[in-house]
Amino acid sequence: MPAQLIDGKAVAARVHESVAAAVRERVSQGLRAPGLATVLVGEDPASQVYVRNKRATCEKLGIRSLPIHFEATLTEERLLTEIDRLNADPTVDGILVQLPLPKQIDPNRVIERIAPEKDVDGFHPYNFGRLAQKNPLLRPCTPFGCMKLLESTGVALRGARAVILGTSNIVGRPMALELLMADATITVCNSKTRDLPDVVRQADIVVAGIGKADFVQGDWIKPGAVVIDVGMNRKADGKLTGDVDFAAAKERASHITPVPGGVGPMTIAMLMENTLRAARLRESAKR
């Protein structure tokens, strides 16, 4: 039978409902709504769409949005000064600097300048290290969302063999740490991995995040495997497609995420959850 679709929109909607209810409860108790600062540098169309969607979701859930937009000529020092200002602002619980940044700005310096307790992207070395130690605070949003999607399938992760394609700090590496924390047995593949199709064929769980359209072929998928496609690629005809050949893979997998409508909605949902968590953690630290 064809695979069951993992509906990222539906799972994200449940996260939204939970966050919105918690925000309403906070406000009813006289606490302020969590505040998220979104910093956009330049006019990259994709980045503008992502930031607009994040701000719209904040508004829908009752989270205070603080939009900040700089021209592409912004200097690194000026951006770091702005981050320092946001770090010191007690009404700001989360700081998100939209990537990629213009070439004159070092993203690593920017990420490390954000206070770890306000790092709602989960990219700061402190938060990465906490995840590696199985004691996470603010978790990278896309892998965190992938774990929610896997949880929604009811498939047991403990002892499962998981193969991750891609080693980025945004998806591949933190995804490996998330699955290790769930007691899965993981293999992380890169462009030098030998016999890649055979490695993928051993996987009970496949997470593809390499940015190559339809790279993972259907016959690479073990019958009954769960496929999480993090890829988001635009074809020449303008249509979006993932890293997995969806039509072929769904005939072999037990569960699979579509593109779009799978992982994408979860990234913003987990950003909202991280922002709420950041507000709670900062309040706890004051007591």
Task: Write out the catalytic residue numbers.
Answer: 54, 98, 121
Separation of CA 71 from chain center: 26
Cross-strand bridge partners of residue 70: 41
* Residue whose structure tokens are 């937009």: 69
Asked whether 163 and 199 are in contact (CB, 8 A), the reply is yes
User: How many DSSP H helices and E strands does the chain contain?
Assistant: 10, 11
Using an 8 Å Cβ cutoff, are 168 and 199 in contact? no
Q: Rounded to whole angstroms, how far apart are CA atoms 38 and 28? A: 26
Distance from C-alpha of 237 to C-alpha of 257, rounded to nearest angstrom: 22
**Rounded-to-integer distance, Cα 111 and Cα 109, Å:** 6
Collapsed DSSP state (helix, strand, coil) of residue 244: strand
Q: Which two tokens stand for residue 150?
A: 């896997």
**φ, ψ for residue 97, nearest 5 deg:** -105, 115
| Separation CA 158–CA 47 (nearest Å) | 36
Query: In whole angstroms, how far apart are CA 195 and each of 204, 220, 245?
Result: 17, 11, 18
Residue 124 CA to chain centroid, in angstroms? Answer: 14
Nearest-angstrom CA–CA distance, 221 and 109: 39
